[in-house]
Amino acid sequence: MTKEKLTTMTTLTKATKIEPTSKIRPTPRAEDTRRKIYDAALELFREKGFEQTTMRDIAAKAQVALGGAYYYFPSKDAIVLDFYRYTQESSHEVILEDLAKHRTLKDRIRCVLEKRLELLHPNRKFCAALFRHAPDSADPLSPFSEASRPIREHAVEHMRLAMEGGDVKVPSDLKPRLPYLLWLYQMGLIMFWLYDRSPSQERSRRLTEKSLGLLVNLLRVSSLPLMRPLRKAALELVQTVEA
């Protein structure tokens, strides 16, 4: 990929910058305290579980007053949303670098998927508990919620960049919606991976490889006239989910 193309990708993704949930003025001291609370919370979420951990537990572990913990994070949900944001932003540069190394759509989508799982892996058990919130879009912790919209849009943007630099020509009617469909595909794979009990999540690896091959092959033939009804059904599916 050319330097010009990579610059364009970076510019496009900057347009979807995720704002932190905390509005505290980022002085060095405030940022240090905020980070202590955040790190303490994640450690407790891993040890005790999200539901069992209280803000009082978090304040005690971070060695700050309970009121201080609430000053930086109004709730446990706010801490989790910052975790989502941090995980998404941490993947940004490495994903851009990896996308620049690949030309095929299959490899480009795979690199997005692999980097996401790589970053989630240290918190796999904790993330599995969070996924119980996924079905309810009114729940702030759901990946479909309004609160998580900026993070979701950032993740969808990564899929759009993977699609635009690939070797598969996508029909014009499907192109605007495909990044969101790819994000839904990614979420399905993540959910399977979170609950995969096979050694080193080998079943998840096989599922990703086989399903990704099928997905790319379907996209290759998606422009054929006989595939128009399937494209229409896929677009209607997306519109139903987004409604």
Q: At residue 231, what are phi and psi to the nearest 5 degrees? A: -65, -40
Asked whether residue 136 carries a pLDDT value surpassing 70, the answer given is: yes
Out of 70-84, 95-109, 131-145, which region has the weakest mean confidence (pLDDT)? Answer: 131-145
Residue 131 has pLDDT above 70, yes or no: yes
- When pLDDT is averaged across residues 197-225 and rounded to a whole number, the result is 92
The residue-averaged pLDDT of 54-67 equals: 96
Confidence bin at 106 (pLDDT 50/70/90): very high
Q: Taking residues 205-216, report their average pLDDT.
A: 95
Task: Tell whether the model's pLDDT for residue 24 goes beyond 70.
Answer: no
172: left (phi over 0), alpha (psi -120 to 50) or beta: alpha
pLDDT class for 242, splitting at 50, 70, 90?
A: low
* Domains of the chain with bracketed CATH: 3-19+76-242 (1.10.357.10), 22-72 (1.10.10.60)
Per-residue buried b or exposed e for 8-25, using 16+ beta carbons within 10 Å of the residue's own CB: ebeeebeebebeebbeee
Q: Is the pTM of this model over 0.85?
A: no
pLDDT at 22: 53
Q: Pick the residue with more confidence: 89 or 25?
A: 89
Q: What's the rounded mean pLDDT across residues 58-74? A: 95
Q: Are the C-beta atoms of 24 and 71 separated by less than 8 Å?
A: yes
